[in-house]
Structure 1
Amino acid sequence: MGRDTWSWIVPDGLWEIAKPLIPPSRVRPQGGGTQDAPDETLFAAIVYVLVSGCAWRALPPCFGVSKSTAHRRFVIWSRAGVWGRLHEAVLDRIDECGLLDVTRVVLDSAHVRAKKGANSQAPAP
């Protein structure tokens, strides 16, 4: 991607790392249909949504892909494990450059609400 169309949203080199990780599009057995949007364009659209935090329905028309196409490809690539492998590939590249320092690591967690509430049989403190 580099300095061309989507360089304003996709950092230099990220597309080159991601490109081999993206599974090929399935060919329709009956043929026909519309031509797939380029993976590079869809990748940029997905990165835009993930980075900006906007809703899929707010995807700007400058990408030239529909919100449903971008979301569908995001789901397909998610199920194929693209994002986890991309994360690992980026970390490997950073480590190769000697820029990865894991002497300090931060973990984050989520709390899950107890939907049924507290045990009513337990004595109150």
Structure 2
Amino acid sequence: MGQRRPWEVEDGLWEQIAPLLPVVERHFRYPGRKRLDDRRVLNGILFVLYTGVPWEFLPQELEYGSGSTCWRRLRDWQEAGVWRALHELLLAELRAADLLDFSRAAVDGSHVRAMKGGERTGPSPVDRGRTGSKHHVITDAHGIPLAATLTGGNQHDVTQLMPLVHAVPPVKGKRGRPRRRPTTLYADRGYDYDVYRRRLQHLGIRPVIARRGTEHGSGLSIHRWVVEAAFALLHHFRRLRTRWEIQDDLHQAFLTLGCAIICWRRLKTTLD
């Protein structure tokens, strides 16, 4: 066998994904064309995520199916909650292996250009008012993405702080109740509003947020850099550097899938 390409699903990851995929019954009286193998189609979806190539340019010689087939399967699996379930499953495995640290968390947002518009886009204040979106991410103390959300490019980061905190799933993996709240949350000056500090405290989270008007060099960056590292990993996937999807749920699907792959890499690298 030839060397596995970076975007092709390895056996260990496929074992995690396969049970999450919805079963599609084939009609025997009017079977139609045989459904393409799910693993091949997933390779096609990951090829687009990694390379950023348009769906219609998906190379047919790779035998991953047509771009339209991969697009529909991405949409159907997003609607079935597959990507969210995969991310949550891998977070639980990380926690079971003592690789997830809820003692600290960090949040931030990052702008991306939205080339075709669509829902959850808006004029970006950091890109001369061009249409864009924002990725919002919360990570654990090691930079593992716990949740990622999508908004318009004109949304202020702080307005998404609480939705992002609430987007963290209950993470199993250890005896007792699942964990979903970090002990301490670090954020930059964009989140400096006392009302949000109180909301975090109400959830039992200690906010450590830089104050506006103070000199740089507060030392908080030694805890906040992990979220920047998470963005670097996410935007290594070329499909996440620029938003091409008009449908916001499809871009969210790529964003969640990217988080899951980062979790899988961390789990695999540490346990190998």
Q: Give the partner amino acid of 1:81.
A: G
In the superposition, the TM-score normalised over structure 2's length comes to 0.36
Q: Give the partner amino acid of 2:102.
A: V
Instruction: Tell me how many residue pairs correspond in the alignment.
Output: 112
Q: Percent identity?
A: 32
- SS of equivalent to 1:13: helix
Residue in 2 aligned with 1:39?
Answer: 38
RMSD (Å) for aligned C-alpha atoms: 2.7
Inter-partner Cα distance in structure 2 for 1:6 and 1:22: 23
Residue in 2 aligned with 1:122?
Answer: none
Inter-partner Cα distance in structure 1 for 2:38 and 2:19: 11
In the superposition, the TM-score normalised over structure 1's length comes to 0.73
Deviations 1:75-123 (A, max 9, x none): 1111000010011011111212211123332333344549xxxxxxxxx
Q: CA deviation at 1:25?
A: 1.8
**Structure 1: which 4+ aligned runs deviate by more than 6 Å?**
none
Q: CA deviation at 1:30?
A: 4.8
Residue in 2 aligned with 1:120?
Answer: none
Preserved contact between residue 44 and residue 64 of structure 2 (Cα < 8 Å)? no
- SS of equivalent to 1:106: strand
The verdict on how the C-alpha distance between 1:60 and 1:69 changes in structure 2, with shifts beyond 3 A counting, is same
Inter-partner Cα distance in structure 2 for 1:5 and 1:38: 20
The verdict on how the C-alpha distance between 1:63 and 1:99 changes in structure 2, with shifts beyond 3 A counting, is farther
1:70 aligns with 2:89: no
Q: Which of the two has greater strand per residue?
A: 2
- Structure 1: state its 5+ residue gaps: 115-125
Q: Give the partner amino acid of 1:23.
A: P
Preserved contact between residue 6 and residue 44 of structure 1 (Cα < 8 Å)? no
Preserved contact between residue 43 and residue 64 of structure 2 (Cα < 8 Å)? no
Preserved contact between residue 41 and residue 65 of structure 2 (Cα < 8 Å)? yes
- Structure 2: state its 5+ residue gaps: 110-135, 137-150, 156-272
The verdict on how the C-alpha distance between 1:104 and 1:49 changes in structure 2, with shifts beyond 3 A counting, is farther
